[in-house]
Chains A and B, each alone.
Chain A
Amino acid sequence: MKNYLRAVGAVIWKDFRSEWRSRESLSAMLVFALLVILIFNFALELDIEARTSLSAGVLWTTFIFAGTIGLNRSLAVEKDRGCLDGLLLAPVDRTVIYFGKAVGNLLFMLVVEAIVLPVFTFLYGFNVFQPGFLVVVLLGSVGYTAVGTLLATMVVQARTRDILLPILLFPLTLPVVIAAVKASQGFFQGLPLEEFSVWLNILVGYDLIFIAVAFMVFDYVLED
């Protein structure tokens, strides 16, 4: 178990080191996320009234779009430079690669969210820094990257890999989006927790189920 965690940590650390040197993924995700917010601002004309009801949806759409970029990139880099074969040669369980990449992707997504949220607060005068809401952000991102990492590992091995990831990922992660948006709305509007705690349950359930399924099938994603 200890060795397993060490190996997972090594994969994460490798991702961070290479990202630190180029900063390609994070900066692309970040600029993209800010652009999406900008577009929403004009497309939806977010005045004061519209903000309270729409901001949760705008935020999660932004996170998800930016997340797709990061996921695609994270696995495409491995594939293109032959790193995936190197990882496969390592004498560790295949699921180590999955958890390493998934946690790495999750951390990247959280970094982007950590920068987007203050910007959002700054632009719209909206306090998003509530502990409950941050838990929602974490749970939503976990579910999204758990499924996304597995699918991205498949997609980079496909011929149509540039277009395939969102098509495969969005319909599967819809429960995450619905639950995260509703839970975020609950916190933004200051509703009592009992009224929307069911959405938190759905998020936790989704995360557990899909991490388990991904853990069981990941061996088959990298079988050559």
Chain B
Amino acid sequence: MKTKPRALTLLDVLSGAMILAAAGLVFFYAPVEALMGPVQKVFYFHVATAWVGMLGFLVAAVAGYLYLRENQERFDIVGAAAVEISLVFFLIAIIMGSIWARPIWNTWWTWDPRLTTAAIVELIYAAYLLLRSGVDDPERRARFSAIYAIFGFVSVPLTFISIRLLRTIHPVVVGGAEAASQGGFNMDNPMKLAFFFSLAAFSVLFADLLWHRIRLGELQRAVTALRIRSYQEEN
């Protein structure tokens, strides 16, 4: 097995530094929001983690498509890696959203479209992992997961639209209007900087983790291959 590539170590350091810098910007550079106070600072990482979550699910769907077309195991490894990472980030986004919602909406949870869709997305990809663990044959597992990743990703917009038609209270912060009454706000420039820097920092962190997880998947595959070979040599 190859040793850890130097570029990966570099990416480790970069993502760590960017996350620290993003936290610094959020806490010391971006001003405290006038109406909501310090709790609004949750917003920067809340959106960034949710973004990384959706990004990973998109990566998994694309990897699924590529697997079905090319039939190469590495796309399966990429898909599984992306879903595992994104599931965690998405859960963090949901928890952070709850922390924000409690003082602003006066409740931890509402059945608002985005919240409900987020919960269902989380369940879809939890089901994806259950499907993976339930199929033993690696080739079959790869095919089924690829199909399910595509189905899951196609169903998300439909779920969102259906629930959206049942009224929303979630603010639309970027490019939306008349959201102030629901806890929306307008960002001034320091806020925007902190926001977009957080997005970038988490995207880099995602790329870093994805690379690590893909390497782990490849190691797993190598171990399995070695095990099979030693078993064959014994007999």
Main SS of chain A's interface residues? helix
Say whether A81 faces chain B, with CB atoms less than 8 Å apart. Answer: no
CA distance A159 to B146 in the complex (A): 18
Say whether A38 faces chain B, with CB atoms less than 8 Å apart. Answer: no
- The answer to whether A157 and B140 have CB atoms under 8 Å apart is yes
Report which of B136, B148, B158 forms a contact with A209, defined as CB distance below 8 A.
B158
Q: A172 — which chain B residues lie within 8 A by C-beta? A: 124, 151-152, 155
- The answer to whether A171 and B165 have CB atoms under 8 Å apart is no
Size bin of chain A's contact surface: 20 to 34
Report which of A147, A164, A174, A179 forms a contact with B130, defined as CB distance below 8 A.
A164
How many residue-residue contacts, CB under 8 A, span A and B?
Answer: 85
Q: B146 — which chain A residues lie within 8 A by C-beta? A: 220
Q: B162 — which chain A residues lie within 8 A by C-beta? A: 174-175, 178-179, 202
Say whether B213 faces chain A, with CB atoms less than 8 Å apart. Answer: no
Q: B166 — which chain A residues lie within 8 A by C-beta? A: 178, 182
- The answer to whether A220 and B143 have CB atoms under 8 Å apart is yes
Q: Which residues of B in the span 146-171 have a Cβ within 8 Å of any Cβ on A?
A: 146-148, 150-152, 154-155, 158-159, 161-163, 165-166
Q: What 1/0 mask marks residues of chain A from 186 to 219 whose CB sits below 8 Å from any chain B CB?
A: 0000000000001100100110011001000100
Q: How far is the CB of A114 from chain B (nearest CB, A)?
A: 26
Report which of A168, A198, A223 forms a contact with B131, defined as CB distance below 8 A.
A168
Report which of A171, A175, A198, A221 forms a contact with B147, defined as CB distance below 8 A.
A221
Given known contacts A157-B140, A213-B151, A224-B140, is B127 in contact with A167 (CB within 8 Å)?
Answer: yes
- The answer to whether A202 and B161 have CB atoms under 8 Å apart is yes
CA distance A168 to B132 in the complex (A): 11
Q: B85 — which chain A residues lie within 8 A by C-beta? A: none
Report which of B136, B147, B154, B155 forms a contact with A159, defined as CB distance below 8 A.
B136
Q: How far is the CB of B71 from chain A (nearest CB, A)?
A: 9
Say whether B187 faces chain A, with CB atoms less than 8 Å apart. Answer: no
CA distance A217 to B61 in the complex (A): 13
- The answer to whether B68 and A217 have CB atoms under 8 Å apart is yes
- The answer to whether B127 and A171 have CB atoms under 8 Å apart is yes
Centre residue among A150, A178, A210 by max chain B CB count within 10 A: A178
CB closest residue in chain B, given A164: B134
Given known contacts A159-B136, A174-B162, is B147 in contact with A217 (CB within 8 Å)?
Answer: yes
Q: B127 — which chain A residues lie within 8 A by C-beta? A: 167-168, 171
Q: A18 — which chain B residues lie within 8 A by C-beta? A: none
